[in-house]
A = this chain, B = another copy of it.
Amino acid sequence: MSRSNPRVLSTLERAGGFASAQEVYRLMQREGESIGLTTVYRSLQSLVNDKIVDVLRRDDGEAIYRLCGESHHHHLVCKSCGETVEIEGGAIEKWAQLIAEEHGFRDVGHTAEIFGICKKC
């Protein structure tokens, strides 16, 4: 196992939200940093193991990473124009946790999205 290259973490921080390994790599290239794609993958995996970074999957299957501890939230998205509202989980957080515990699951996470047609559309 290898330890995470600090420049990878720093780049992921700078990226803001979620970013894939490929995106982190391209970002570093663009900023003139010399690094191999392999090292980016290895570093991100290591950060996930250490629970410094969350990983989940895009619809297309690509893995995307983000720093843990950024506030957890969900999205309300307009199917027509794409306008997005960030919303707090509220009741859903408890619901997910409760359901999971009822079935004996641990290490619980969840995803939730609401979509519809916004006022303007």
Contact = CB atoms under 8 A, between A and B. Distances in A.
Interface in A99-119: 99-100, 103-119
Chain A: interface residue count, which band? 20 to 34
Stoichiometry, as copies per complex, reads 2
Contacts of A105: 76, 78, 114, 116-119
The main secondary structure of chain A at its interface with chain B is strand
A85 interface: yes
Interface string A41-64: 000000000000000010001110
Contact of A112 (B87, B107, B111, B116): B111
Interface of A: 57, 61-63, 76, 78-79, 85, 87, 90-92, 95-96, 99-100, 103-119
